[in-house]
Amino acid sequence: MKTSKNNPRLKELAPRQRNPSGIGLVKDLEGEGKIDSESFLLNGFQATELARAIEEIKEMKKQKAFIFLGFTANLMATGLRGLVKELCKKKFVDAIVTTSGSIDHDAIRAFDDYEIASFNEDDEALHRKGINRIGNILVKTKSFEKLEAKMKPFLEKCYAEKKIWGPSELMKKLGTELDESSFLYWCAKNGIPVYCPGITDGAAFGLQLYFFKQKRKDFAIDVTADLKPMADAALNAEKTGAIILGGGITKHHIIGVNILRNGLDYAVYVSTAQEFDGSLSGAKPKEAKSWGKLKEKGKSVHVNCDATIAFPIIFYSLKDNGLL
């Protein structure tokens, strides 16, 4: 069985292109290596998919695609808020789609702290202490109350201006009231629209609308107002791309609006949902092709990984490549 200990294979491992699906040869990671797109591409399984995601995002930028960034609210409770903020500050993305909870977390974290804990906390005890849990992250009820207190004058100010608001108009106004740690601030400053199609569904911002509306019955949020700007963006772009962290309404809203232009040109999904239950959250990019949400020849990657691990790798790789 003897094979040469100076195996020539060890020298020839530069990636070779092969058709149709071949990317290159699997290459053993080296002791003196690092986490980057190149080493991950030839590593296999999800490391490969993650590297492909990085390459696809580079391509989006090179092709000057209009980029939709979507993320679920839980991610704004994590350190990823800093990276999303950077993407907005640097105008790396052109539109944001997210849920109401993202607004809560982005705003609260501009003035208060969340805490790292474990997934196995005693939730009944936490409740008695006024602490709310999001996975292994804790938020004080008091933090929500502080935001709620700020919401009242904010909504009054909005109401004084006009009665009927589109969600992205409210987001823009809110952004101007937050500090530089906030992605909403930078979106407002840089003219990046923040679409929030399920704006009433949040623990702080959402429920405050209920209380505010009790007093101001003619205050309204017209969700149909955001359809035109979002559709126009999709229709006017030469190419569109999507970077979608997580699933739900965020994911669907981005790919859905792209039906109007016969599909996205690029789609990068980072998700832990599975396709076997027929859910939109778990649907792979290829399913989107049948709908015309992604072009038949559109490029796509699905990275199955928690975004708190995958997204920093993507972000810092883009930075190392001078794209950020």
Min dist CB 214 to a second copy, Å, is 7
Min dist CB 40 to a second copy, Å, is 8
> What residues numbered 293-312 form the site for a second copy, per CB under 8 A?
296, 304-310, 312
Residue among 133, 159, 239, 321 that touches a second copy (CB under 8 A): 133
Helix, strand or coil, per DSSP, at residue 123: helix
Burial label, 323 (beta-carbon count in 10 A; 0-12, 13-18, 19+): middle
Residue among 53, 54, 103, 178 that touches a second copy (CB under 8 A): 178
Residue among 56, 58, 111, 156 that touches a second copy (CB under 8 A): 111
Min dist CB 187 to a second copy, Å, is 16
Strand order in the sheet with 240-245: 194-195, 95-98, 66-71, 240-245, 264-271, 294-304
The answer to whether 28 and 214 have CB atoms below 8 angstroms apart is: no
Annotation marks residue 213 as catalytic: no
- The answer to whether 235 contacts a second copy (rule: CB under 8 A) is no
Q: Which stretch binds a second copy (CB under 8 A): 55-63, 108-116, 186-194, 236-244?
A: 108-116
Residue recorded with tokens 């992205």: 168
Helix, strand or coil, per DSSP, at residue 132: strand
Long-range contacts of 7-13 (CB under 8 A, 24+ apart): 13/42
Q: Which stretch binds a second copy (CB under 8 A): 26-34, 53-61, 186-194, 236-244?
A: 26-34
Closer of 58 and 213 to a second copy (Cβ): 213
- The answer to whether 286 contacts a second copy (rule: CB under 8 A) is yes
The answer to whether 177 and 154 have CB atoms below 8 angstroms apart is: yes
Beta-bridge mates of residue 139: 132
> What residues numbered 195-234 form the site for a second copy, per CB under 8 A?
197-203, 206-207, 209-210, 213-214, 219-228, 231
